[in-house]
Amino acid sequence: MSVIQSVHATIRGLRDQVAALHAELPRNALVVWTAGNVSARVPGADLLVIKPSGISYDDIRPENMVITDLDANLVDGDLSPSSDTSAHAYVYKHMPHVGGVVHTHSTYATAWAARGEPIPCVLTMIADEFGGEIPVGPFALIGDDSIGRGIVATLRTHRSPAVLMRNHGVFTIGSNARAAVKAAVMCEDVARTVHIARQLGAPLPMRQSDIDALYDRYQNVYGQA
Amino acid sequence: MSVIQSVHATIRGLRDQVAALHAELPRNALVVWTAGNVSARVPGADLLVIKPSGISYDDIRPENMVITDLDANLVDGDLSPSSDTSAHAYVYKHMPHVGGVVHTHSTYATAWAARGEPIPCVLTMIADEFGGEIPVGPFALIGDDSIGRGIVATLRTHRSPAVLMRNHGVFTIGSNARAAVKAAVMCEDVARTVHIARQLGAPLPMRQSDIDALYDRYQNVYGQA
Amino acid sequence: MSVIQSVHATIRGLRDQVAALHAELPRNALVVWTAGNVSARVPGADLLVIKPSGISYDDIRPENMVITDLDANLVDGDLSPSSDTSAHAYVYKHMPHVGGVVHTHSTYATAWAARGEPIPCVLTMIADEFGGEIPVGPFALIGDDSIGRGIVATLRTHRSPAVLMRNHGVFTIGSNARAAVKAAVMCEDVARTVHIARQLGAPLPMRQSDIDALYDRYQNVYGQA
Amino acid sequence: MSVIQSVHATIRGLRDQVAALHAELPRNALVVWTAGNVSARVPGADLLVIKPSGISYDDIRPENMVITDLDANLVDGDLSPSSDTSAHAYVYKHMPHVGGVVHTHSTYATAWAARGEPIPCVLTMIADEFGGEIPVGPFALIGDDSIGRGIVATLRTHRSPAVLMRNHGVFTIGSNARAAVKAAVMCEDVARTVHIARQLGAPLPMRQSDIDALYDRYQNVYGQA
């Protein structure tokens, strides 16, 4: 199989994966209507696979996913790419270890983002997945690479695969698209739990050494080998 | 095809659309029991298609949707029209660009309405869809055109397609019924997110120029051409 | 058909109805696990149809509904009746116009009940269905007619078909079992909306004359003739 | 049938039960993604049946449940056991009457755990199922028997089948796995209701004698004989 045939086969597989992973967003109540999107990097090519702009979750199919380059130019597909494609593309261009990106306006995480307040690491589940607080990124307008730059600048200085973009919503990253979706699901879950804890008082702090131990273990021992 | 045949064909299509769009209300948790309703204007005729009064969402079918004129008089259908028909009719009569109207008592939006407090524009999603705050309309009793007048007077002075009627619930408008349903879904979503943000402090304000830029882009660039 | 045959036919129909209506409780998120119950009076006989004690909502069938007399003694059925049967029976015995009773521990309504605080009439939907505040009944232990007496004493002095039993949960009544289920669904919906409104300030009051007008219209005009 | 054949048959039945009971966790919104687990003791053997580590709820089947001894060593199964297996095993080893254990990070219960605050007994439903407050256990790191010791030490001094582990989540026990799942469902339900009650004021206290009477009755009279 030639290199080109191999990339084509990879893209076919990623269309299936990305389309299927979009179903996790409404299923986990992270999005309403057409908001939110999932993308995957095409390994071995400067390309990504993403949802088209403004289409219903009911209508998502592998064949209507669109392919763009890492400057967000349409390469393959009949529909316009998500209006968040520039942000996804910027992340892939500047964070080579990232294989998947997710964007949502999930309720509780976005509420923290509206106040510009990071989610403190006060649960073992936050230590496990995020390795510390979930940080806040800057306010940035859509339309150029401002959002992408804000995401990358924030995530580079944190263990967290999630960033709360001020007055906007959440972006998460992962080694693949499934891992980024997992981070989006867990981000909303802990955003909700810590919010609810805070409503009636102050959550108890955790020691940094405990956070480090939990993060190390979860990243290296949890799941199947 | 005569004008009359054409109107009949249009009404058949709108019965299907309006019946199908009603399913989005419980699906998006905007209504309980028989509350809430969706209508569509019949283009080229002073008519509207709406849900009958007090019927279960399980029982909604194209054939039991009812047709009224723009004074809310029954024109076609075996059942009494929604008790909110006068409000819908008043909107169509006085806002010629409106093709769809939705009414709900969705929880968070109605909570803002109970306090008579507009939802401030502190999220990019609010700027996108509503172009500024979501305003409050007056308290009005059902039974004459008071509710319709309150809706129209409030929406005429705002970009927002949604109005929070005091101590009552939400009315949304759109160029068609689907757009009005979208506005109802997004209104509840942002009502919830801003409520939750406010519970633990003050959301950060957004600049008017940023709100304007986001609104302009979303209305003109988002989605498929 | 003899009187006895007629009662048997009525009971068969009510077994179907009561079993089917139980599905509305989890569907509307009013109950968890085996909590909650619906009953119907058997017209023309001092009997009621109710759910057995402690059975899963997945296992509810017309044939395992149980029949008791109005002292809660088992008359027909293989299973023990709901442990709340005495309360239902007391209501039927002392409120002849009641044809259906529902009991839940639905979250928001029970939260008001835990504080012993009535839900104020600050929404048109509360005026429509409840005609005023939703009142609080006394604390009462299960095991004799204390709960039933508390329900009846409270509902006799209010328009509301729902009562919040202190530190316990909700009982609703209706002219039939479906109407009682509707009251339970709407009680939780307005309990939630008013709770959320109150979290960020005081809901605006409504005038008594407006409440009276809304109640009168909803009871007499809403729905199909 | 030999003793060994009998244990094999028991394990087959428990694989079915434990796999099926896992479906109750997402159904009751107690877990997200792969979090949470249910186990059952194998009667007549120092063994337990539990979910593998990090697998999706969609992929849970009787045949991929794993069997470990009461030191959490894998005895049968192709996958690594849940990373919480040590905690489950410790409970079975030190509480011989326990036949099932459940672990979740359910939102409201975990919020109380984040503050290290027990859930007070202010609802008849809490008296029924938990016999008093739902207590808080110590903070403990995963990886040795610290969590198990914290659970056992806390539950031994309370009637409650649920313990809120500080900054972590919930563990529940029961005479079998189904009873432990029921306790997990009810724990989250009352954690939510009392949280919501507390948001707008203080729940009314209940008398100890009433709590005792309710607990006694529910444990001995409720349900089918």
Q: How many CB pairs under 8 A join B and C?
A: 88
Report how far residue D171's alpha carbon sits from residue A29's, in angstroms, rounded to the nearest whole number. Answer: 25
Residues B196-213, mean pLDDT to the nearest whole number:
98
Active site residues of B: 103, 105, 128, 168, 222
A162-165 and A169-174: which strand pairing? antiparallel
What's the mean per-residue pLDDT of chain C?
96
Neighbours of C185 (CB within 10 A): 24
The helix (H) or strand (E) run that includes residue B110 is helix B107-115
Spatial separation of the C-alpha atoms in residues A134 and A110, rounded to whole Å: 12
CB spacing of C123 vs B114 below 8 angstroms: yes
Nearest Cα residue in chain B from C209: B141
CB pairs < 8 Å spanning C and D: 88
- Does the distance separating the beta carbons of D206 and C167 come in below 8 Å? yes
Residues of chain D contacting A223 with CB distance shorter than 8 Å: 34, 53-54, 80
Which positions ≥6 away from C26 have C-beta within 8 Å? C57
Does C1 score more than 70 pLDDT?
no
Q: Which two tokens stand for residue C17?
A: 């109805």
Pairwise CB contact (< 8 Å): B193 & A54: no
Closest CB to C204: pick one of B105, B108, B167. B167
**pLDDT tens digit at each of 225 positions of chain A:** 687 788 899 999 999 999 999 999 999 999 999 999 999 999 989 999 999 999 999 999 999 999 999 999 999 998 999 999 999 999 999 999 999 999 999 999 999 999 999 999 999 999 999 999 999 999 999 988 999 999 999 999 999 999 999 999 999 999 999 999 999 999 999 999 999 999 999 999 999 999 999 999 999 887 887
**If you compute the radius of gyration of chain D from its CA atoms, what whole number of angstroms results?**
17
Exposure string of A84-117, with b = 16+ CB inside 10 Å and e = fewer, is bbbbbbbbbbbbeebbbbbbbbbbbbbbbbbbbb
pLDDT at D3: 76
Closest by Cα among B218, B225, B222 to A79:
B225
| Across B73-82, average pLDDT | 94
For residue D1, what pLDDT band results from cuts at 50, 70 and 90?
low
C60, two tokens: 């509810």
C225 pLDDT tier (thresholds 50, 70, 90): confident
**Residues of D near C (CB-CB distance < 8 A)?**
28, 122-125, 182, 185-186, 189, 192-194, 196-197, 199-204, 206, 210, 213-214, 217, 221-225
**Residues of chain B with a CB closer than 8 angstroms to some CB in chain A:** 28, 122-125, 182, 185-186, 189, 192-194, 196-197, 199-204, 206, 210, 213-214, 217, 221-225
Tokens representing D151? 């659970």
One-letter identity of residue D57: Y
The model's pLDDT over B154-168, given as tens digits with 9 standing for 90+, comes to 999 999 999 999 999
More confident site: D220 or D95? D95
If you average pLDDT over residues D115-126, what whole number do you get?
98
Q: Which chains touch D (3 or more CB pairs under 8 A)?
A: A, C
* Structure confidence at residue D220 as a pLDDT band (50, 70, 90): confident
Quote the mean pLDDT of chain B: 96
Structurally, chain A folds into a number of domains equal to 1
- CB-CB: which of A204, A217, A222 is closest to D114? A204
Angle at C160 between CA C158 and CA C164, to 5 degrees: 95
Q: What is the pLDDT of residues D10-58, one digit of tens each?
A: 999 999 999 999 999 999 999 999 999 999 999 989 999 999 999 999 9
Contact criterion met (CB < 8 Å) for D79 and A28: no
Q: CA of C207: which chain B residue's CA is closest?
A: B139
CB-nearest to D115 from A182, A204, A223 is: A204
- Would you state the pLDDT for residue C22? 98
Which residues in A lie closer than 8 A to residue B192 (C-beta atoms)? Answer: 107
**Cβ contacts of D35 on chain A, cutoff 8 Å:** 125
Q: Cβ contact (<8 Å) for D142 and A186?
A: no
Nearest residue, CB atoms, B123 vs list A142, A167, A198: A167
User: Among C196, C206, C222, C224, which would you mutate to test the B interface (most chain B Cβ atoms within 10 Å of its Cβ)?
Assistant: C196
Which of A84, A88, A90, A103 is labelled catalytic? A103
Q: Is D117 left (phi over 0), alpha (psi -120 to 50) or beta?
A: beta
Q: What is the pLDDT of residues C83-124, one digit of tens each?
A: 999 999 999 999 999 999 999 999 999 999 999 999 999 999
**Residue among B25, B204, B209, B212 with most chain A CBs within 10 A, to mutate:** B204
Tens of pLDDT, residue by residue over D147-206, are 999 999 999 999 999 999 999 999 999 999 999 999 999 999 999 999 999 999 999 999
Cβ-based interface (< 8 Å): residues of C facing B: 28, 122-125, 182, 185-186, 189, 192-194, 196-197, 199-204, 206, 210, 213-214, 217, 221-225
Q: What is the CATH number of the domain that holds C168?
A: 3.40.225.10
pLDDT at B3 over 80: no
In this structure, are residues D108 and D47 in contact, taking their beta carbons and an 8 Å threshold? no
Measured between CA atoms, the residue of chain C closest to residue D203 is: C115
**Beta carbons of C54 and D124 less than 8 Å apart:** no
pLDDT of residue A1: 64
CB contact under 8 A, D105 and A193: yes
- Least CA distance to B56: which residue of chain C? C223
Give the rounded percent of residues in chain B with a pLDDT score beyond 90: 92
Q: How far apart are CA A145 and CA A139, in angstroms?
A: 12
Q: What is the CA radius of gyration of chain A?
A: 17
pLDDT at site B1: 64
If you average pLDDT over every residue of chain D, what do you get? 96
Stretch C176-196: mean pLDDT: 98
Range of the domain at A41: 3-221
pLDDT band at D221 (very low <50, low <70, confident <90, very high): confident
Sign of the Cα pseudo-torsion (A158, A163, A165, A167, in order): negative
Q: What is the pLDDT of residue A6?
A: 87
pLDDT greater than 90 at residue B6: no
Distance separating alpha carbons of residues D143 and D146, to the nearest angstrom: 8
Half-sphere exposure of A194 (CA within 13 A, CB side): 26
Prediction ipTM score? 0.96
pTM of the model: 0.97
